[in-house]
């Protein structure tokens, strides 16, 4: 085969592959849901919490494109994971729900069981209006999620020590207060901080082991070599995958919903499952 013919063949295959990749991103990728597993090993993790499993999900933007069928798939997947802790990372709704829609969402979220608790932080979409904020907090409360607003809880197996779980309220709505969030913690414990916006990691104290964030949807339309097409505020320095920032580990979830367009390219919808182990 002549060199010119080989080049044309390779280019043709690349064009076909790229075309399929884009077609899949536009028509199918948003409907698929993957589970992304992580193992965290640290000697600060209390031995009584060895093998603790935390399931993290964020960015439903419910009923913008994320419909009841996708919700049912999400709930089924979370139930199969059976995490000890379930964390919701913000942006539950995209619009105010009818009473019937609210009851249905509560029914699904309430069906999730987690032996060590269900927790949530809020994102900017959860403060889009007073009505949406009120409804979001009511849904989470009725579904047995504790909303952490610049506050912390101790995840423990009925022992003195455990894991600090810190929740920071929405920075994009100027509701974050990091000093308040950290004021009651024992920094001898392993510290996990949840905040909606990834770039906020630059502001958290050094005695933080792990930050989990959402918001960016992993870029949603994320082109290799070019990066995310639509920059999100406070998700510009860090918008996908994992990073080590000042010795603090950052994981960014792609989330499960979409906004503006129901397209995902190189940013699959995902649940993140973290297993914590003592060294």
Residue spans of the domains in the chain: they are 32-277
Strand order in the sheet with 34-41: 34-41, 270-277, 52-57, 85-88, 118-120, 146-147
**Range 155-181 average pLDDT:** 95
What is the reported pTM?
0.92
**Mean per-residue pLDDT, 41-62:** 97
pLDDT for residue 1? 58
Residue 230 has pLDDT above 90, yes or no: no
Query: Is 32-277 a CATH 1.10.4080.10 domain?
Result: no
pLDDT in tens, 240-279: 999 999 999 999 999 999 999 999 988 999 999 999 999 8
Nearest one of 207, 137, 125 to 166, comparing CA atoms: 207
Q: Is the pLDDT of residue 19 over 70?
A: no
């Amino acid at each position: 085969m002549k060199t010119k013919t080989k080049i044309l063949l390779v280019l043709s295959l690349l064009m076909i592959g790229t075309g399929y990749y884009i077609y899949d991103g536009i028509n199918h990728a948003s409907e698929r849901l993957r589970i992304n597993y992580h193992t965290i090993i640290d000697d600060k993790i209390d031995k009584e919490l060895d093998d603790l499993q935390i399931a993290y999900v964020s960015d439903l933007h419910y009923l913008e494109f994320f419909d009841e069928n996708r919700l049912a798939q999400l709930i089924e997947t979370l139930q199969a994971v059976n995490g000890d802790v379930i964390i919701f990372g913000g942006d539950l709704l995209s619009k105010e729900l009818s009473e019937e829609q609210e009851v249905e969402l509560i029914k699904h979220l309430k069906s999730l069981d987690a032996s060590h608790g269900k927790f949530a932080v809020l994102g900017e979409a959860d403060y889009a209006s007073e009505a949406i904020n009120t409804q979001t907090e009511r849904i989470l409360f009725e579904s047995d999620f504790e909303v952490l607003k610049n506050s912390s809880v101790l995840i423990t197996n009925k022992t003195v020590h455990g894991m600090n779980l810190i929740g920071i309220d929405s920075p994009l709505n100027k509701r974050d207060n990091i000093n308040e969030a950290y004021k009651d913690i024992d920094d001898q414990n392993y510290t996990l901080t949840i905040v909606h916006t990834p770039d906020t990691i630059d502001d958290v104290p050094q005695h933080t082991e792990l930050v989990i964030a959402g918001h960016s949807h992993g870029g949603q339309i994320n082109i290799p070599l070019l990066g995310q097409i639509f920059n999100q505020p406070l998700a510009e320095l860090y918008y996908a995958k994992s990073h080590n920032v000042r010795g603090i580990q950052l994981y960014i979830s792609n989330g499960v919903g979409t906004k503006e367009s129901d397209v995902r390219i190189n940013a699959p919808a995902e649940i993140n499952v973290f297993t914590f182990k003592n060294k």
